[in-house]
Amino acid sequence: MSESPIRKDGRANDEIRPLKITRNYLKWPEGSVLVEVGETKVIITASVEESVPRFLRDSGKGWITAEYDMLPRATDRRRNRDRNRKIPGRSMEIQRLIGRSIRAAFDIDNIGEISIKIDADVIQADGGTRCASIVGSFVATYDAIQKAVENRIIVKMPSFSVISAISVGIIKGIPMLDLPYVEDSQAEVDMNIISSEDGKFIEIQGTAEGKNFSRDELNQLLDLAVKGNSEIIIYIKKLLNL
C-alpha cells in the first residue's frame, strides 16, 4: 500500500475511528442505543410490535424494518425535516439497507408474527452515518428481542450472527478505512461494506466518484473492510457478553 498523507485525525490508513455504543439509552423502547463513531452520533431504537405486514399474516414469521432520518442541524448547515415531504431517495435507500442488514443477522422465521421496528436518527453527522446506524441497530435489535423473550412475547432467542458495517475509500490514490466527512467528500472511490462474524459479505455498495478503480484496488478495499468489521464485531461481542 502506498505511503499516505497524514489523516486529519492522525489515524493510520487501516485504523477505525473510536467507537462507543451506549445501551438502554432511552427509557421506553425495548432496545435503544447511542452509537458514536468518531464525531458521528446516531440514536437508534428498536420497538417490538405484535403484528406483521399483510404479506406475512398467518405465516408465523417475524419481520424487521427500519426508518432513518437526520436532525436538521446534524450537519454543518440546517436541512429541512423530511416529515412534511416525500422521503428523499437517499434516506429511503439507507433505511432499506438497514432493514436488509438486520434481517440478515437474525433468523426471524420462527419467532412468531412479531415485528421489530428500528428508528435511526442521526443527531450529528461526520461521515459513515449508514454504517453507524447498522452497527447500532444490531445491538438495539438484540436488546429488543431479549426483552421480548423476557416478557414471553417471543418464546426463545432466535439464532443470529453478529454483523458490522464500515466505509472504505480511495483518497488521492490511497485506500483508507472508515472515512469521516472530510475524506468521504473527496474520495475517488467510496464503498460501504456490511459483513457478518463468519467473514461473509451481506452487502457491498461501491462507486467510482470520477475515477475508475482496478480489481487490485477493490481487493485492497475489501481487505480493509474485513479488518475494520472484524474489530467492530469484537467490540460488539464484548459489549453483549457473547
Mind listing the pLDDT tens digit of every residue in the chain (242 residues)?
444 457 888 999 999 999 999 999 999 999 999 999 999 999 999 999 998 888 888 788 899 999 999 887 787 788 777 665 666 677 889 999 999 999 999 999 989 899 999 999 999 999 999 999 999 999 999 999 999 999 999 999 999 999 999 999 999 999 999 999 999 989 999 999 999 999 999 999 999 987 899 999 999 999 999 999 999 999 999 999 99
Q: Phi/psi at 14 (nearest 5 deg)? A: -105, 25
- pLDDT of the residue at 82: 63
Q: Round to whole Å and give the CA distance between 163 and 158.
A: 15
| Residue 95, helix vs strand vs coil | helix
Question: Is the distance from CB of 70 to CB of 92 less than 8 angstroms?
Answer: no
Q: Round to whole Å and give the CA distance between 54 and 240.
A: 33
Residue ranges and CATH numbers for the domains of the chain are 19-76+89-240 (3.30.230.70)
Q: Round to whole Å and give the CA distance between 13 and 177.
A: 6
Q: Round to whole Å and give the CA distance between 29 and 235.
A: 23
Tell me which H or E stretch contains 177: strand 174-177
- pLDDT of the residue at 1: 43
Question: Is the distance from CB of 105 to CB of 135 less than 8 angstroms?
Answer: no
